[in-house]
Chain A
């Protein structure tokens, strides 16, 4: 942290008083990273990039958006038609929101597969779940802002959930609405909070990275690094790998923005909100569908709400549900099977969340919801007690380098 090799006297003057350059150097150069990370480790940086894109495009959109029920929808159309490059900035904002969730879900699934939530990284995992929750709140409020039919009715449905709380439910909903229904007061406060929350997310991302740097990244075989023979410096190897990942990400994002900008949205949101007409099928954005399916699977209103929030609460306590000392699924053949079952089940829940709550879909939703909780609350604890894991290699380098891979 001292005696750094910065040549420029200006840099040294600043760094002596505010060691920001030393910090950056330490993070990039000195920071030892396992040398066997695969591309599943790219999604963290992609999530950070997505957050940056959302903040920049969002601040720019806020310059032309009007948060009033009489003007909101038209102000968005004005952005699309009159503001220079407005259509592009708007499409980037709405598609990057979807990409942000894709990337974060993949990031979370990586964590589940390789046991990145296990000791000593429990807090890192929990901070991540907090970020996920904040993202969902931000996205929910953001979707209300264009004041289309789905904006209005999605807001109505989700805010109505809180009326399930006994005794105080109705009062809470009135408090949230600022009135007797989702209306101008609601829209205004959602705009304010939607602008605020990404910066809170950014704060938690900083904590998330600080927690990560405490013990360093996990790796695909889930074994701690034993020394410098197991690591490489983050810069230039993982910086350039992340840049490559970013290039692929931006290519896919550009394909969406320029060729299929409305593919992940719902056409009903291009109809101005009408409090007197409910759309035939109210659906949230795709990234909420699994939780929406869980909500509707339970026949009881309060039960559905509790189980929906429970689905995320269960993620918080995951490090204590899965206590297997073996981190990576590579050495846990039974766990691996259940992991993929969980993955398929999550996709199924997403699919079912988009379907009307009728017939076979109801039954399947209940089965899928049950499986979701069974996985976390029963299968994982049982596996950690009874699974026979495969023998672990001695170190990261050892299977490749042989005896020279061992510590001295």
Chain B
């Protein structure tokens, strides 16, 4: 059994070339590391949204009852979404805007799949308040869209920022029309 020349005298610490003991030590630590990672992953991943939260990631909204000129607010992923059934006048004004006047230039057609229905996330892009303009009688701001009372941001009939501290236009969420009367958001 005198084959262990490679390890010389294992009792002394002066092994020059790697031997069997080093292999097993490294292998043990490597397995321990893999094990620790395998344990850590589920504990971290459980922080991610659960199945019931993900299920609420998409909602279907019936828009057939919204009269022309009327707006509704729905809750999507914990935030308000404005759906406005725009008048012809509002659509025209949105299209007629010179892009140079816009802080965040975007054409209206890029923001509304069907021009009659505008779907926007109702959160001011400044510091997160919910702008006014949804209910009848509420202030709509100088551009007849929405007005954020917190710091005075004015949005136009396409939800684009025109005046005030907000840096970007009101966000357009991912949405699609499942039919003429049902829109799916998210």
Contact = CB atoms under 8 A, between A and B. Distances in A.
Interface of A: 56-57, 60, 63-64, 78, 81-86, 88-89, 240, 243
Contacts of A88: 42
Nearest to B39: A56
Contact of A81 (B32, B43, B47, B51): B51
Contact of A78 (B32, B42, B43, B50): B50
A37 to B, nearest CB: 21
Nearest to A250: B35
Main SS of chain A's interface residues?
Answer: helix
Nearest to B35: A250
The B contact surface, by secondary structure, is helix
B43 A64 contact: no
A60 B51 contact: no
Interface string B41-83: 0110111101111000000000000000000000000000000
Contact of A89 (B28, B46, B51, B53): B46
Nearest to A53: B39
A85 B41 CA distance: 10
A78 B46 contact: no
Contacts of A81: 51
Contacts of B48: 84
Contact of B50 (A56, A82, A89, A240): A82
Contacts of B43: 56-57, 60, 85, 89
A28 to B, nearest CB: 15
A278 B32 CA distance: 48
A88 B43 CA distance: 10
B45 A78 contact: no
B50 A64 contact: yes
Contacts of A89: 42-43, 46
Nearest to A81: B51
Interface in B8-62: 28, 32, 42-43, 45-48, 50-53
B24 to A, nearest CB: 10
17 contacts: A56-B43, A63-B46, A78-B50, A82-B52, A83-B46, A83-B50, A83-B51, A84-B45, A84-B46, A84-B51, A85-B43, A85-B46, A86-B50, A89-B43, A89-B46, A240-B28, A243-B28
Contacts of B51: 81-84
Contacts of B45: 84-85
Chain B CB count within 10 A is highest, among A82, A86, A88, for A82
- Among B42, B48, B53, chain A packs the most CB atoms within 10 A around the CB of B42
Contact of B42 (A63, A85, A240, A243): A85
A78 B52 contact: yes
Nearest to A240: B28
A84 B52 contact: no
B28 to A, nearest CB: 8
Nearest to B51: A82
B54 to A, nearest CB: 9
Contacts of B46: 60, 63-64, 83-86, 89
A370 to B, nearest CB: 46
Contacts of A60: 43, 46
B30 to A, nearest CB: 14
Q: Which 7 A-B pairs have the closest CB atoms?
A: A85-B42, A82-B51, A82-B50, A82-B52, A83-B50, A84-B45, A84-B46
Contacts of B47: 63
Contacts of A84: 42, 45-46, 48, 50-51
A81 B47 CA distance: 14
B42 to A, nearest CB: 4
A243 B28 CA distance: 10
Given A63-B47, A89-B43, 4 more contacts: A56-B43, A85-B43, A86-B46, A89-B46
A60 B45 CA distance: 11
B174 to A, nearest CB: 23
A244 to B, nearest CB: 10
Interface string B82-95: 00000000000000
A24 B4 CA distance: 33
Contacts of B53: 82
A195 to B, nearest CB: 17
A88 B39 CA distance: 11
Contacts of A56: 43
Nearest to B40: A56
| Residue from B28, B32, B43, B47 with most neighbouring chain A CB atoms (10 Å) | B43
Contacts of A57: 43
A252 to B, nearest CB: 16
A60 B53 CA distance: 18
Contacts of A82: 50-53
B50 to A, nearest CB: 4
A166 B48 CA distance: 52
B80 to A, nearest CB: 25
A127 B116 CA distance: 75
Nearest to B47: A63
A130 B50 CA distance: 39
A85 B48 CA distance: 10
A371 to B, nearest CB: 43
B58 to A, nearest CB: 16
A88 B51 CA distance: 15
Contacts of A243: 28, 32
A320 B184 CA distance: 76
B62 to A, nearest CB: 27
Nearest to A59: B43
